[in-house]
Chains A and B, each alone.
Chain A
Amino acid sequence: MNEVTVFIMGKGYRVPEGLTIMKAMEYAGYRLGRGCGCRGGYCGACATVYRLRGDYRLYADLACQTPVQDGMYIAQLPFTPAERPPYQLADLQPRGETLLALFPELARCVACNTCTKACPQKLEVMDAVQAALRGDIPQVAEFTFDCVSCGLCTMRCPAEISHHHVWQLARRLNGAYLTPRALHVQKRVQEIAAGVFKSDLDALLSLGRDALVAAYKAREIES
């Protein structure tokens, strides 16, 4: 089995080639508490920064989804301090001013693009900030939908913007105010409350197993 050297917080360990950074840390004896969540790329717990031998660039990715490379220097981000301002969705208007009022530091963006380079999901983070500055909330929601709130952009931003908090609010504003409601859902809720389906369900609950099986087999499957 081929091995490579990985430097975990500066200490070198020999680990099997092909392991993810997360599994390499565990192989080396680290028991993860912080820095480990879903292990599948959805929760942002394992945000990691690293450099490669001979390369000045600082890379960032999720430890659970990134294979190790020989000479990789890694450090994990156990937590990103980023205060979320208090707000109640029902009190807010879905406008750019709302975002700027709650996150005035957005206006400090210098368009340096560092956030975009730090994003493990390869989102266009800077473009999302610019959309926020323009008050284009649907655009912000679209650009940031795949965000896992890992906090890497927030830690790297020279303007000290807490991106993932802005995105969360923008997406909720988009979903609650800027997208039409599903009228059929509302209608069904009212029908259920009015007892439209009560007798059907009562009947089903009174059926014995054989009758239920028969009813199940007789279902029409929507094509």
Chain B
Amino acid sequence: MKKLAYFPGCAMKDQARPDEAGTLHALAALGYEVAEIPRWNCCGTVYSLAQDDLMRHVGPVRNLIRVQGMGEKRVLTLCAMCYGTLKRSSQFVREEERLARINAFLDTEEDFRGGIEVVHLLPLLRDEVGYEKLASQVKRSLNGLKVATYYGCVLLRPREFAVDDPDRPEVMERVVEALGGEPVPFPERMECCGAYLTVGRSDIVTERVGRILRSARGGGADLVVTTCPLCQFNLAERRPAAAPTLPVLYLGQVLGWAFGADEPANLFPLGVRDE
């Protein structure tokens, strides 16, 4: 068994629980011993990417110190936002003066020494597990289910942190294929859903979500999958009235189902948000 430190993030313990459940089930079958880091805190998402306020990076760095404290050198994230935040923050604090100031502030913690790799599920499956092994361990094939793999922004932008080629990504499609599904092409797969605007300007989100779903249906999809809880929320809860009624699931749910998990059962929920 390969040990893997895991940072859940807030959503994985609340509305995105089925994503975590399915993913952990699959990872266990693939030979990983997943260890949730102790006493983790919210990564802070967008706020933690502030470049003018070092205080904002305390949250992400504290989580990386936890990984360090476990004796691990890398940490898995499932949520695209958490991935982006932890990865970019860890890069930002690599600069010596910033690191020294953060360590001085965190006087009750061990010093952060850097060198922790933040990993998202998708590159792990591609580079370490491999599509062939993935396919060989599937217990329930998706049987040609047509899947629109929606990336959203954070997995691919900024370029230096992208999990795949930011202009022509294919990792999510290959994973779906390995599970027996048929990924469909759709032009809006990398377009932003509107993210935080869902709070103050949901009209913009609704408009964009409409376009994304129409594009997915246009490609022939039966189902949309994503790895971002915010995207999932927007695509499921902010649809315009006339939008195609496509179910939107987490990649982890589909992954878990393909690996025989009882939960999350039912690949075709109506009213997509799983409680």
The reply to whether A and B meet directly (CB within 8 Å) is yes
Contact partner of B108 (CB less than 8 A), chosen from A113, A127, A135, is A113
A 28-46 to B, binary, CB cutoff 8 A, 1 in contact else 0: 0000000000000000000
Q: Complex: how many Å from CA A158 to CA B105? A: 14
Contact partner of B42 (CB less than 8 A), chosen from A113, A133, A158, is A133
**Interface: A130 (CB within 8 A):** yes
**Interface: A176 (CB within 8 A):** no
B 1-44 to A, binary, CB cutoff 8 A, 1 in contact else 0: 00000000010011000000000000000000000000111101
Q: Which 7 A-B pairs have the closest CB atoms?
A: A111-B59, A111-B41, A134-B13, A130-B41, A135-B14, A134-B10, A133-B42
**Interface: A117 (CB within 8 A):** yes
Nearest neighbor of A158 in chain B, beta-carbon distance: B55
Interface residues of B in 54-82 (CB under 8 A from A): 55-56, 58-59, 62
For residue A110, which residues in chain B have a CB less than 8 angstroms away from its CB?
Answer: 44, 47-48, 55-56, 58-59
**Interface: A8 (CB within 8 A):** no
Nearest neighbor of B48 in chain A, beta-carbon distance: A110
Q: Is the CB of A112 within 8 A of B10?
A: no
Q: Complex: how many Å from CA A127 to CA B106? A: 15
**Interface: A109 (CB within 8 A):** yes
Q: Is the CB of B13 within 8 A of A112?
A: no
For residue A127, which residues in chain B have a CB less than 8 angstroms away from its CB?
Answer: 39, 41
**Interface: A17 (CB within 8 A):** no
Interface residues of B in 90-112 (CB under 8 A from A): 105-106, 108
Q: Complex: how many Å from CA A109 to CA B48? A: 11
Q: Is the CB of B13 within 8 A of A126?
A: no
